[in-house]
Amino acid sequence: MDLFTPSVQHWLDLAGIFVFAISGALLAVRKNFDVIGMAVLAEATALGGGLIRDVLIGAVPPAALTDLGYLLTPLVATALVCFLHPQVERINRAVMVFDAAGLGLFCVTGTVKAHAYGLGPVASVAMGLATAAGGGVLRDVLANEVPSLLRWDREIYAVPALVGATAVALLIHTGLLDAVTSALSAALAFGLRLLALRYNLRAPRAWHRRSGSTDQGAAEA
């Protein structure tokens, strides 16, 4: 089921894709990539999670390749960042808020779609997480960086998506999933991500770590 009507759902998907693409294009600018590199990172960030999910669950051809709007939206984001990246950098905090909203939306829709294709609760949760965070992992790998998802020195990202996806899987299992509870699950993931940004929340590291070395990613940053 969709959170909203198909038309509204489509536009929400495009909005989420646009914000994810902005983050990919901005990273390309910071890495001094040319416009092709910017477009590649924008497309990978925006569509990578959905592509991974659709290929793994057998929803082929993937939605990202059958809807022209999905392919063109990251290119629009690339053009915007290419010409206005100083201004976009200045509103990066607002971009991160919208990114959190996209995280909440995609972890829910990814879980629902995986269940619709016959996957069990655990696998559906994994696909919800992949939908929300898979594009960011592809972005970082292409940019030759340790994925933010794996770095302790970054605010939690996977945890909010995992919580939202798990909530949806439990609602499906209990027969309580509807538009309202789906929206509440998306809001839960969104709220957790905002709290992480506000209070710099991080996932715990290994208990009683003996190593005194600093995180490599933090040192480079």
Supply the pLDDT for residue 214: 53
pLDDT tens-place string over residues 37-49: 999 999 999 999 9
Dihedral of alpha carbons 198, 20, 139, 92, sign: negative
Return mean pLDDT, the chain: 90
pLDDT tens-place string over residues 152-177: 888 899 999 999 999 999 999 999 99
For the chain, the structural domain boundaries read: 6-203
In sequence order, which ranges of the chain are alpha helices (DSSP H)? 6-30, 35-57, 63-66, 68-90, 92-116, 121-142, 158-174, 179-199, 216-220
